[in-house]
Amino acid sequence: MKIGITCYPTYGGSGVVATELGKELATLGHQVHFISYAMPHRLTHFFKNVYYHEVETSSYPLFEQQLYGLSLTSKMLEVMEYENLDLIHVHYAIPHAISAYLTKQVLKQNNSDVKIITTLHGTDITLVGLEPSFLPLVKFSIENSDGVTAVSRFLKEKTLTNYNIDKEIEVIYNFIDTYLYKPDNKKKEQLRKNYVQNDEKVLIHTSNFRPVKRVCDTIRILSIVKKHLPVKLLLIGDGPDRSDCERLVRDLKLNDDVLFLGKQDGLEELLTMGDVFIMPSQSESFGLSALEAMACGLPVVSSSVGGLPELVKHNETGFIAEFGDVNRMAKYTLDLLTNDRKYKKFSENARKRAVNVFDKKLIVPKYLEYYEKVLGN
Ligand code: GMT
């Protein structure tokens, strides 16, 4: 197949899923054309069968706002003209799905066609898409995609009810390369020497530090756990809430206990040095970073919002608690860190669940089957 993929190229989970999917499809022999405003950050080097088309935006003084959606449509049309794609798969509805729809309409004028598949990832449905300025277009673009997938059952239900849509939506979970993301005790020991003392436990959180992630809650959880055992919190990533978090750390006098590592590549290595992964989000359609941690053998203590209960099996691969309930999350964390047998069992369960349910070898074929279905093959 010849497949176009549009996604946000930066650090967000939707871009990661889109890029890893494209790389896998290319490995399977399909031709993949990424169309975006920058090179997706996981396209680190040359991959056979992968092409990248950069969307240029105009900075003409009349346009106070950038017209990205229109520039993207033009680039999709250009790629279609020269590459004759079978389908365009857009990740994150806004504005990608509407640009793809426009592309399809222009092609129709020339008696040509392309199938459009939209994958809904999270805040495109639960937050941004609900803003009155976006809602009608998000609804329209979902209704007029040839195929729609959602990354959890939760997100599918939210889409159908919040937008009053009557459309088949296929649930295809996020996936992980469990060969790359795996427990590694040797690496764990080496890395820990750089950050923590021998007897200290390590809590890890990775995110883009947006308010929905509630990163400050990870610090509150640490401050409770720390009263009972030596422990450090590694915060990986950056974003709007970082300054608030740093302020809270100073207020609670936890300067030596919370390490801000900023944006990092090579997460698969850093995660191996953690003991428990903390995800206290207020909204989370799936929780890809929790899956990355599970694949590395880290039990997850998370909130119970959105699609998280579909990923984290309570009292088996970790624990879930109501969002904001830092006392309960701290209690669960302590329970894991003070009971070696339980910890070992949960760690094994987390790894097993990642391998048996969410490995890329199981999920990527589901996308391919869905492509075939939409193409009518
Ligand atoms: O919806 C977002 O906030 C953006 C998106 C992203 O690009 O990071 O995140 C969502 O997509 C991920 C990949 O499918 C999911 O694992 C995340 O749970 C989801 N984020 C939220 O729902 C907040």
Type of residue at 307:
G
Q: Please name the residue that has the structure tokens 């639960």.
A: 126
| Ligand 1 atom at minimal distance to the Cα of residue 288 | 16
Ligand 1 centroid to Cα of residue 166, in Å, is: 23
pTM here is: 0.96
Say what the pLDDT of residue 78 is.
97
Q: How much is the pLDDT for 60?
A: 84
286 Cβ closer than 6 Å to some ligand 1 atom:
yes
Per-residue pLDDT of the chain (377 residues; tens, 9 = 90+): 999 999 999 878 999 999 999 999 999 999 999 999 999 988 988 999 999 999 998 888 888 888 999 999 999 999 999 999 999 999 999 999 999 999 999 999 999 999 999 999 999 999 999 999 999 999 999 999 999 999 999 999 999 999 999 999 999 999 999 999 999 999 999 999 999 998 999 999 999 999 999 999 999 999 999 999 999 999 999 999 999 999 999 999 999 999 999 999 889 999 999 999 999 999 999 999 999 999 999 999 999 999 999 999 999 999 999 999 999 999 999 999 999 999 999 999 999 999 999 999 999 999 999 999 999 97
pLDDT at 12: 85
Distance 38 CA to ligand 1 centre (A): 19
Closest C-alpha to ligand 1, atom 12: 13
Ligand 1 site, residue 174, Cβ cutoff 6 A: yes
* CB-based contact 290:311 (threshold 8 Å): yes
- Would residue 347 count as lying in a domain? yes
Same structural domain for residues 253 and 370?
A: no
Domain that holds residue 93: 2-175+359-375
Give the residue whose CA is nearest to atom 19 of ligand 1: 122
Is residue 284 one of the residues assigned to a domain? yes
Assess if residue 152 is contained within a domain.
yes
- Quote the number of domains for the chain: 2
Domain shared by 56 and 121, yes or no: yes
Residue 130 in domain? yes
Q: Can you read off the two tokens belonging to residue 2? A: 């010849």
Residues 98 and 232 in one domain: no
Dist. CA 13 → ligand 1 center (Å): 5
Same domain, 32 and 157: yes
Same-domain status, 204 and 271: yes
Taking alpha carbons only, the member of 14, 35, 5 closest to residue 122 is 14
Q: Is 284 in the pocket of ligand 1 (CB under 6 A)?
A: yes
Q: Which two tokens stand for residue 95?
A: 């504005």
- Tell me, using a 6 A CB cutoff, whether residue 290 lines ligand 1: no
Atom of ligand 1 at shortest distance to CA of 286? 18
Say if residue 16 is in the same domain as residue 154. yes
Q: 99-112 burial by CB neighbour count: b if 16+ within 10 A, else e?
A: bbbbbbeebeeeee
- From the number of C-beta atoms within 10 Å of its C-beta (0-12, 13-18, 19+), residue 348 rates as middle
**Do 146 and 158 lie in a common domain?**
yes
What 3-state class would DSSP assign to 325? Answer: coil
285 Cβ below 6 A of ligand 1: yes
Q: 310 in ligand 1 pocket by Cβ < 6 Å?
A: no
Q: Which residues contact 4 (CB under 8 A, 6 or more apart)?
A: 33, 34, 35, 76, 79, 80, 83, 85, 87, 88, 89, 114
Question: Same domain for 99 and 70?
Answer: yes
Within a domain: 42? yes
One domain, residues 237 and 296? yes
289 CB within 6 A, ligand 1: no
30 shares a domain with 133: yes
**Looking at the domain assignment, is residue 180 inside a domain?**
no
Half-sphere exposure for 358 (CA within 13 Å, toward CB): 29
Joined together, the tokens standing for residue 73 give 């449509």
Q: Is 17 in the pocket of ligand 1 (CB under 6 A)?
A: yes
Whether ligand 1 lies within 6 angstroms of the CB of 147 is answered as no
Ligand 1 atom with the smallest distance to the CA of 213 is 23
**What is the atom index within ligand 1 of the atom nearest the CA of 14?**
7
Say whether both 108 and 148 belong to one domain: yes
Please give the distance, rounded to the nearest whole angstrom, from the Cα atom of residue 29 to the centre of ligand 1.
Answer: 28
pLDDT tens per residue, range 180-210: 999 999 999 999 999 999 899 999 999 999 9
Q: How far is the CA of 122 from the centre of ligand 1 (A)?
A: 5
Of 41, 119, 121, the one to substitute when testing ligand 1's pocket (max ligand atoms within 8 A of C-beta) is: 121
Neighbour-count burial for 53-66, b at 16+ CB within 10 Å, e otherwise? bebeeeeeeeeeee
pLDDT for 64: 84
pLDDT of residue 90: 98
The reply to whether 32 falls in a domain is yes
129 and 208 both lie in a single domain: no
* Rg, the chain, Cα only: 21
Which atom of ligand 1 is nearest the CA belonging to 285?
22
**Quick one: residue 215, left, alpha or beta (phi over 0 = left, psi -120 to 50 = alpha)?**
alpha
**306 within a domain of the structure (yes/no):** yes
- Which CATH number is 79's domain given? 3.40.50.2000
